[in-house]
Structure 1
Amino acid sequence: PKKIAVELQEFQKNPEIKIALVKVEGLVVTDEIKEMLEKGNQLFDAQKYDEARAVYEEILTKYPDAYPIWKNVGNCYFAQEKYAEAEQAYQKILEKDPNNADAMVAIGNTFLNRGDKDKAFEWYGKVNVDKITDPVVIYNVGTMYYNNSRFSEALAYYQKAVEKQKNFTDALYQLGLTYLNLQKNQEAINAFEEYLKIDSESPRAEQVRAFLAYLKK
């Protein structure tokens, strides 16, 4: 069968991190929390991680029930490559919410960036993909597997991400690449054709068309 060499993306030490206050049942999100969180986020975006962390920790001191903000604390440490401290912060979330998929993935990332792939994938393996509602979280786990050439595992996550969000172009693209790596060319064709129904104009769409032209020879 035809095989296309696909360049793997290197896992970034400082991946783009989206920070948001997760709604917590029973927590009244006051104007003060919103203002402090916005201040912390601005400092984080300015790469002033120590100052941002201090703001997030102040929120947690005043409002202990706002435990999802421990992820923001962990993200500050993660951006500074202080992975042990980041892990400890993410663990604080699991103390309150043992099934929190975001925290499990984040802990896995800390081990991956410390070079402990076995421990990283042990944490990724704790995530129950069927219970994750956010397709971005599902996609992120799939990408961890993909970036480490574990294509069979990546496939299951990309399939689920597309199932959750049909127009998720990043997931469709990665799904096609994963099928290519598994030499499942007809499935790759199907994924890439679905991609072009959503995005036909971008530079990546041109690459997708090139893949399709090769596969259909």
Structure 2
Amino acid sequence: MENKHLEAARLIQEGKIEEAATLLNELIEENPNDALAYVNFGHLLSIIGDKERAIIFYNRAIEFDSKLATAYYGAGNTFFDQEKYEEAIEKFKAAIHYGLDEADVYFMLGLCYYNLRLLPYALANLQTATEKNPNDIESLFQYGLTLAQLEQVDEAVRVFEQVVTKKEDHADAYYNLGVAYAFKEDAQKAINMFDKALKIQPDHLLAGNGKKQLEALLSEK
């Protein structure tokens, strides 16, 4: 049974959706109470864009195993994709409660709170995500954005600098460093950061506009 679950997960990962669906149907026919089969079917449905049915399958999995953390996590991701952030938060919290105490869950919780503009909650969860996985560039970047939104500018600069140290071609991190230095009224350093963003991504409109505005201000002095 376990081998079939692993095989189904591998087929989904490889994009062999029909083969995976056939195998999962077999698993459910063999054992209609197989919670993990419903979770994997939920993953499959979510991947192909059938979000509503995916939620039904995750909920069915939870009916059979109310402590199955991956079912809550899958449902949380699907609600997030639908921009149903309150529902997603509820599921991610349940996933953590039932043992999925991993960086990805805290990252997704942080994004939910960020999208709801509940920034202190976003900050706390994104900080936890970065502590649990310091090498996750996206968590680090989102943590920096949240710090910047809360006007904790010096901390945001420190985090964005970590991002570009780990990923030298992160144009958006350089852009946000530029915004931070402009906020700190260090126009030349801000322009340097915008230049770095534009060198990586010449069509970075925000960096281009930021640079033009600061150069205009400097020329007036």
Matched residue pairs, number? Answer: 185
Name the structure 2 match of 1:153.
Answer: 121
Superposed CA deviations along residues 136-189 of structure 1, whole A, max 9, x for unmatched, are 222122222223323222112111111111222111100000111122222212
Contact in 1 for aligned 2:86/2:112 (Cα 8 Å)? no
Pick one of 118, 135, 138 that aligns with 2:106.
138
Deviation at 1:131, TM superposition (A): 4.8
Q: Which has the higher contact order (CA 8 A, sep 6+)?
A: 1
Matched, 1:92 2:60: yes
Q: Distance in 2 between matches of 1:137 and 1:160?
A: 10
Identity, in percent, stands at 24
Higher Cα Rg, which structure: 2
Deviation at 1:37, TM superposition (A): 4.4
Matched, 1:200 2:158: no
Contact in 2 for aligned 1:39/1:55 (Cα 8 Å)? no
Name the structure 2 match of 1:73.
Answer: 41
Contact in 1 for aligned 2:160/2:174 (Cα 8 Å)? no
Q: Distance in 2 between matches of 1:89 and 1:81?
A: 14
Q: Distance in 2 between matches of 1:108 and 1:37?
A: 19
Q: Distance in 1 between matches of 2:19 and 2:168?
A: 43
Pick one of 112, 126, 134 that aligns with 1:166.
134
Secondary structure in structure 1 of the residue aligned to 2:101: coil
Superposed CA deviations along residues 77-105 of structure 1, whole A, max 9, x for unmatched, are 22444333212211233345434444223
Computed over aligned residues only, the root mean square deviation of the Cα atoms, in angstroms, reads 3.3
Name the structure 2 match of 1:38.
Answer: 10
Q: Distance in 1 between matches of 2:12 and 2:41?
A: 10
More divergent stretch after superposition (197-206 vs 121-130): 121-130
Runs of 4+ in structure 1 over 6 Å off? 63-66
Q: Distance in 1 between matches of 2:84 and 2:6?
A: 37
Q: Distance in 2 between matches of 1:130 and 1:182?
A: 31
Structure 1 spans left out of the alignment, 5+ residues: 1-27
Contact in 1 for aligned 2:45/2:53 (Cα 8 Å)? yes
Secondary structure in structure 1 of the residue aligned to 2:117: coil
